[in-house]
Amino acid sequence: MRYRLTFVAGLALGYVLGTRAGRERYEQLKKSAREVAQNPAVRNTAETAAQQGREFAGKAYHAVSEKVGDHVPDSVAERVRSLRERNTNGTGEDDWGTSNT
């Protein structure tokens, strides 16, 4: 009960503070976020992190598949195969809009 009351109080406080800030502040924050997202340094860093994530995921996939072997249900194995084929034979972009360079 204590946690529920704390959550509701936090929710109410956030609502009140958010409505006081108003639409103008929301638009200002949205504009700032868009500018940061369009910054070339941020985009390059995001793409580098995505590439490293794909590399680590591929290594993890091979390590896990060697250890798990045939213990994975066929439906899961087929889903993984289809996702891997889609990413290697796809358009060069992932679901986040970054390139696979």
Residue 41 is assigned to a structural domain of this protein = yes
Give Cβ neighbours of residue 61 (< 8 Å, ≥ 6 apart). 80, 84
3-state secondary structure of 1: coil
Q: What is the pLDDT of residues 49-65, one digit of tens each?
A: 999 998 998 888 778 77
Range of the domain at 70: 18-89
> What are the beta bridge partners of residue 99?
93
Residue 1 in domain: no
Dump pLDDT digits (tens) for 4-62.
Answer: 888 888 888 888 777 777 778 778 888 998 999 899 998 999 999 999 998 998 888 77
- Report if residue 31 sits inside a domain: yes
**Tokens 């985009």 — which residue?**
43
Q: Is residue 37 part of a domain?
A: yes
Task: Please indicate, yes or no, if residue 56 is contained in any of the structural domains.
Answer: yes
Q: Are 62 and 68 in contact (CB under 8 A)?
A: no
Asked whether residue 100 is assigned to any structural domain, the reply reads: no
CA 96 to CA 90: how far, in whole Å? 14
Q: What is the DSSP string of 68-95?
A: HGGGS-HHHHHHHHHHHHHHHHS-SB-T
Q: Is residue 5 part of a domain?
A: no
7 in a domain, yes or no? no
How many domains does the chain contain in total?
1
